[in-house]
Amino acid sequence: MKTDAIFQMPDINDESAIQTHRNAVLAVFAKYFGNIDEALEEALPKVLNIFRLLDGPVDLAVHAPNTRYLVKQFLSARATPSLEEDIVDIDMQRVSNCGLCAKTPKGTIRILKGTTDGLPKAASEARQKFSTANQMTFRFDPNEKEPKLQNLNLFVLWRMDAEHTYRGMQIALPRRVREDGTIECYWVAEWRSNGEAAAPLPVTHIASDLDEIKALPSREKQNQ
């Protein structure tokens, strides 16, 4: 699949098209996802060390902004100039609920704390716009069969267990927002550090944005 094909949204009734699109997106954004994965893996132990140094229990309200700060520092240090002098591969911005927004030449990635129930609701106007932008397509050539996007919006949802240990992340391609604020996705996939495509995951939702800073059960406990 050509790189530009990531901007052509798959037919939601065509499982093969969805898987092909998912694999293409994971391949095109592999460098960015790999950097985010590495940043989180490095950041979470450092945040725990802060609480150990202060000899106090983990406070999630403090844990979240410290994690955001360390991840931002890691990613910003690895930004490299692209062809345009005023464009960088990753331009970090802060978003609500202690998340980060990474702008890349191919699209925008929102990095959020995931939950056992999946994607947070689109409670803010900014997240609603972000979650529906992938359907805002434009036809550059009147002979084109399908209109194309100008860039892609993606969610990275990272997880930690009850011991506040990093447990990986998922990639989600949002499609639209339902009336109750839940976000419907074209696909959700587990990210693997080797870049290998994983099977798509079912999309579920939560009742509140506040759960973005909730610790999750470890993978070992979930498998028991």
CA distances from 163 to 50, 159, 216 (A): 15, 11, 9
Predicted local distance difference test score (pLDDT) of residue 194: 61
Per the domain annotation, does 4 fall within a domain? Answer: no
Tell me which amino acid residue 39 is: A
CA–CA separation, 193 vs 34, rounded Å? 6
Residue 128 pairs with which residues in a beta bridge?
Answer: none
Predicted local distance difference test score (pLDDT) of residue 28: 93
The tens place of each residue's pLDDT in the chain, 224 residues long, gives 566 789 989 999 999 999 999 999 999 999 999 999 999 999 999 999 999 999 999 999 899 899 999 998 898 888 754 333 344 566 666 555 557 888 888 999 999 988 766 788 888 888 899 999 987 654 445 555 555 557 899 999 999 999 999 999 999 999 999 998 889 999 999 998 765 544 444 433 333 333 333 344 444 444 55
Compute the half-sphere exposure of residue 2: CA atoms within 13 Å on the CB side of its CA: 4
CA–CA separation, 108 vs 41, rounded Å? 21
Tell me which amino acid residue 12 is: I
Please name the residue that has the structure tokens 């955001």.
68
Predicted local distance difference test score (pLDDT) of residue 123: 80
Per the domain annotation, does 7 fall within a domain? Answer: no
Per the domain annotation, does 8 fall within a domain? Answer: no
CA–CA separation, 157 vs 217, rounded Å? 15
The total domain count for the chain is 1
Q: Which domain covers residue 211, as residue numbers?
A: 14-219
pTM to 2 decimal places: 0.77
CA distances from 121 to 93, 109, 143, 186, 218 (A): 20, 17, 38, 16, 23
Predicted local distance difference test score (pLDDT) of residue 201: 46
Per the domain annotation, does 128 fall within a domain? Answer: yes
Predicted local distance difference test score (pLDDT) of residue 203: 38
Per the domain annotation, does 48 fall within a domain? Answer: yes
CA–CA separation, 75 vs 40, rounded Å? 10
CA–CA separation, 41 vs 170, rounded Å? 14
Structure tokens at 200: 């798509």
Per the domain annotation, does 99 fall within a domain? Answer: yes
Per the domain annotation, does 2 fall within a domain? Answer: no
Structure tokens at 35: 């950097």
Predicted local distance difference test score (pLDDT) of residue 3: 67
DSSP code for 172: E
CA–CA separation, 224 vs 12, rounded Å? 33
Per the domain annotation, does 1 fall within a domain? Answer: no
